[in-house]
A and B are shown apart, each in its own frame.
Chain A
Amino acid sequence: AQSVTQPDIHITVSEGASLELRCNYSYGATPYLFWYVQSPGQGLQLLLKYFSGDTLVQGIKGFEAEFKRSQSSFNLRKPSVHWSDAAEYFCAVWGGKLVFGAGTILRVKS
């Protein structure tokens, strides 16, 4: 069965600084990978997804993620964080059903 590990429960970043959220997955075949964002009291919004092809995928709100098969990783990045990016971020892998990691709470300090 597939699984996802997000090693960081909380991350605090200064506004304008770069961001990287880590995600490691476990899945026997080529994975379909996703990043979702959840603002307080809101549902989950899809940021980006990877199916195949170019290992660097671009998403909404200036986010990107890189798939590294050798490391079983799909880390999310953003070059310059805005205060509105404060939220909880979930990495997910699909292998018949969508399985989520535990999430990383991003705090942005001004």
Chain B
Amino acid sequence: DSGVTQTPKHLITATGQRVTLRCSPRSGDLSVYWYQQSLDQGLQFLIQYYNGEERAKGNILERFSAQQFPDLHSELNLSSLELGDSALYFCASSALIGGGYGYTFGSGTRLTVV
């Protein structure tokens, strides 16, 4: 157990739908990162939050959004889902704002869009 908790572990939904993925960071970590892992794109950085504020954006689609709540858990919202959004979504956390000492990853949410 890495200390980073992601729910749900698996999600199957239809095209056009909206889903929410949830992440609880490791205790004491203020930064949360979201990554998408797919066969064709590999591990892609989506977005980072630090203590409730957005800090960095990567290759995140406009249909996707995220937030970090006062208790530091984070949610990734994916809307108007397409088949190509099927992937493994990871959340990671770090104590520092920059994360230069490494991230701790959760076990991921596998999203299947049918």
Could you tell me which A residues sit within 8 Å of B by CB distance?
32, 34, 36, 41-46, 49, 51, 90, 94, 96-103
State how many residues of chain B have any CB contact under 8 Å with chain A: 22
- The DSSP consensus for interface residues of chain B is loop
Stretch at the interface among B13-21, B65-73, B75-83, B103-111: B103-111
Nearest residue in A to B104 (C-beta to C-beta)? A46
- Are B102 and A43 interface neighbours, CB within 8 A? no
Which residues between 10 and 67 of chain B lie within 8 Å of chain A, taking CB atoms? 33, 42-43, 45, 48, 56, 58
Minimum Cβ distance to chain A for residue B88 (Å): 9
Q: In the complex, A56→B20 CA distance in Å? A: 42
Question: Which one of A42, A94, A103 lies within 8 Å of B100 (CB-CB)?
Answer: A94
Q: Could you write out 19 A-B pairs with CB less than 8 Å apart?
A: A34-B102, A41-B107, A42-B108, A43-B2, A43-B4, A43-B105, A43-B106, A43-B107, A44-B105, A46-B103, A46-B104, A51-B100, A51-B101, A94-B98, A96-B98, A97-B99, A98-B99, A101-B42, A103-B43
- Are A49 and B102 interface neighbours, CB within 8 A? yes
